[in-house]
Amino acid sequence: MDSAEILRKRKYRHSLVRDFDSDRVLSAFLLGDDRPTLIFICQNNSDSSGTLPDLRDLERIVGMSLTVRDARKVEDGLAVVQQGQVQRVVLDESAFDREKIYLRSPDNTSALEISGEDFKALLEDLGFETESETARLRIYDFGYAAVRQSAQNRVVSGIQPSGDMTLGNYLGAVVNWQKQVENYDENFFFLADLHSLTTLPDPADLRDRIFKTVATLVACGLDLDKATLFRQSDLGGYHTELAWIFSCLTPEGRLEQMTQFKEKARKQEFVGSGLKTYPILMAADIAIYQATLVPVGEDQRQHLELAREIIRRFNGRYGYTMPVPKADMPQVLARVMSLTDGTSKMSKSNPNRDSCIYLLDNPDDIKRKIKRAKTDSNRDLFFDENRPEISNLLGIYQVLSGLAQAEVVEQFKGQGAAKLKAQLTEAVIEALRPIREQYDRLSADRDRVLEILSQGKARVEPIAQQTLAAVKQRVGL
């Protein structure tokens, strides 16, 4: 792919020019590659062209400057802070006000002309992270942007094999995963088996659950042509090494603040330090694959915020190395609550099996659990935070039926909880039927499940390898 193709594909207006003053215009090289790389040329940096071949080679990109020493000397909208190779570029926002910016061909004989406005959009589109240190200065770290395999969104999310998957996991996470698979090219989902050790499960149980969780995920209908499924411990070295590096950047006090830690620690007899450092491993799970988007349920919001903080801190200290990912939460019902207590979330590790609907529950179980679900005596049904149980059942019905909130309220006006429960039972049975049927087929084919995991590992390992190599180089290892 050459520069013109990159611009064409991304729908930026441009034209080819042969006559331009390469010494006077603000210009850059856009390297044609499957990893678009943009390199600025600055007037007083006439050697940059000589470094181009080297910039394609990650191993040779070294020595990031931590501070922008020349920020005050930004001339003509552009300065390159150089240490070894061309690395950090400081761009005054005024550069984008220019009518034209030129992307030169490496031999300097022609250029692609693009507007300043489109150019700004292109930088973001290509995934070059920006930081604003002052209102006017933008900083681009181009060297490491080159390690990104793709300028597309990369979706990464995980699930622990800590119990049978629940309707909460399904509506809070998996349904969103399926949506992302339709929208994005790169979707990595993993089985967070290292995380599940925080509750010290019985080894034989854990082995069983790992298999069962993968088979359930596939049975949910994840399109494996578009999604990659793998197991965290198959790439454990990358995840844990990065987690260690991240842990050195994470203030201890932040971990203490995590609600999930406090809740789980209260319930566990033995609290290992892994339970506390869990969010650091989660940050590494995400960053090691250069994720840009993380679909999770509401219960993971706080952890994801911490992951973003850690990644930001790493990038800030050592130079841009990985994107700061965004959370993607369901718009409706981001937190499915327990059937027996509307104030705590439906959780697969809850020993009270009546508190959850499991994805593999049979119709009789579903009927019984919903019938017994806690409600109140008010026959008027409406969403109300003071009525968490009713709101939860209405919410589940809303998501499964695809109706708007007002339509659901209208449907059950004055009908009482029994009517809602009957309709909800039907909706849940219907939603879960195909999953259960597909699971039964898959569970007989153990080899297929193992094959899915080994293909997943092969797909993601080069990315983990590359990120870890970059991280180690950055921190001085």
Report the nearest approach of ligand AQP to the CB of residue 172 (Å).
2
| Three-class DSSP labels, 210-232 | HHHHHHHHHHCCCCCCCEEEEEH
CB-nearer residue toward ligand AQP: 48 or 350:
350
Contact 257, 430 (CB under 8 A): no
349 lies in the binding site for ligand AQP (CB under 6 A) = yes
Residue 184: CB partners within 8 Å, gap ≥ 6?
152, 153, 154, 155, 293
Is residue 356 within a helix (H) or strand (E), and if so which, with residue range?
A: none
Find, among 300, 299, 296, 440, the residue nearest to 359 by Cα: 440
Per CB under 6 A, contacts with ligand AQP among 167-186 are 168-169, 172-173
Instruction: Select from 32-40, 114-122, 293-301, 410-418 the region that touches ligand AQP (CB under 6 A).
Output: 293-301
Active site residue 348: yes
Rounded to whole angstroms, how far apart are CA atoms 141 and 326? Answer: 20
Count CB-CB contacts under 10 A for residue 251.
11
Active site residue 264: yes
The residue from 347, 375, 392, 423 that contacts ligand AQP (CB under 6 A) is 347
Instruction: Select from 64-72, 80-88, 158-166, 392-400 the region that touches ligand AQP (CB under 6 A).
Output: 158-166
Report the nearest approach of ligand AQP to the CB of residue 267 (Å).
10
297 lies in the binding site for ligand AQP (CB under 6 A) = yes
CB-nearer residue toward ligand AQP: 172 or 388:
172
Report the nearest approach of ligand AQP to the CB of residue 63 (Å).
38
* Upper half-sphere CA count for residue 76 (Cβ side, 13 Å): 14
Contact 327, 334 (CB under 8 A): no
CB-nearer residue toward ligand AQP: 187 or 315:
187
Tokens found for residue 398:
């809303």
The residue from 51, 162, 216, 473 that contacts ligand AQP (CB under 6 A) is 162
Per CB under 6 A, contacts with ligand AQP among 352-391 are none
Closest residue (Cβ) to ligand AQP?
172
212 lies in the binding site for ligand AQP (CB under 6 A) = no
Cite the beta strand spans of 201-286 per DSSP E: 227-231
* Upper half-sphere CA count for residue 212 (Cβ side, 13 Å): 17
Enumerate binding residues for ligand AQP (CB under 6 A). Answer: 158-160, 162-163, 166, 168-169, 172-173, 192, 296-297, 299-300, 335-336, 345-349
What residues act catalytically? 264, 345, 348
